[in-house]
Chains A and B, each alone.
Chain A
Amino acid sequence: MSIVEQIMNVTSPTSEKQRPPKSRKGKKHLESIAPQWEEPPKGLLVINGHQTSQQVKNVLADLSRLKKPHCRQLRKKNNILPFETGGEASLEFLCKKNDCSHFILGNHTKKRPHNLILGRLYDFHLLDMFELGVVDYKGLDEFEMAKQLKSQLKPLVCFVGDFDSDDTTRKLKNLFLDLFHDFEDRQLSLEQLDNVFVISLYHDRTISFQNFMIRLKKSDTYLPRVALEEAGPCIRFSLRRSRLAADDLWKQATKRPKQGKSKKNVTMQPILGRQVGRIHVGRQKLDKLIIKKQRALKSKEFE
Chain B
Amino acid sequence: MDGVEVDLGSLSCADVRPILQGETKQEQEERILRAVEFLVQGLFTLPEQSSERKSQRELPEPFSVIPRAKPIPKEKPLTKWEQFARIRGIRKRKRDKFAWDETRGEFRPIHGYRSINDESDQVILPHDPSLQPGESPFDRVKEGKRNRVKNNRKSQERNKRSIAKDQLSSRPVRTDKYKSKDLEKSAKIASISTRSLGKYGDRNKPRQKLSSIKASHKKNIIPSGAERERTFQAVNDVLKNF
Contacts and interface: CB of A to CB of B under 8 A. Distances in A.
A127 B160 CA distance: 35
B195 interface: no
B164 A187 contact: no
> Which applies to chain A's interface (DSSP): helix, strand, loop or mixed?
mixed
A7 B74 CA distance: 14
Interface string B52-69: 010111110010111111
B116 interface: no
A177 B64 contact: yes
B104 interface: no
Interface stretch (B10-18, B146-154, B212-220, B223-231): B10-18
Given A190-B55, A200-B28, A216 B73 contact: no
Given A223-B41, A225-B37, A183 B19 contact: no
Contacts of B188: none
A61 to B, nearest CB: 24
B70 A216 contact: no
Contacts, number: 191
Given A161-B19, A187-B56, A273-B86, A255 B68 contact: yes
Classify chain A: how many residues form its interface, as a range.
Answer: 35 or more
Contact of A7 (B20, B71, B164): B164
Nearest to B83: A273
B30 to A, nearest CB: 10
Contact of A122 (B19, B20, B39, B69): B69
B58 A186 contact: yes
Interface in A23-78: 34-37, 39, 42
Contacts of B45: 223
26 contacts: A35-B73, A36-B70, A122-B70, A156-B13, A157-B10, A157-B11, A158-B14, A159-B12, A165-B18, A173-B14, A177-B66, A178-B67, A181-B12, A187-B49, A188-B43, A189-B53, A189-B55, A189-B56, A190-B43, A214-B40, A216-B40, A223-B44, A224-B41, A226-B41, A255-B68, A268-B87
Given A181-B11, A201-B19, 7 more contacts: A160-B35, A177-B12, A198-B32, A203-B20, A224-B41, A225-B37, A254-B68
Give me the 3 closest cross-chain CB pairs, A-B, nearest first.
A273-B87, A253-B67, A162-B18
Interface of A: 3-4, 7, 11, 13-14, 34-37, 39, 42, 101, 120-123, 127, 154-165, 173-174, 177-178, 181-183, 186-191, 193, 196, 198, 200-203, 212, 214, 216, 222-228, 245, 250, 252-255, 257, 268, 270-273
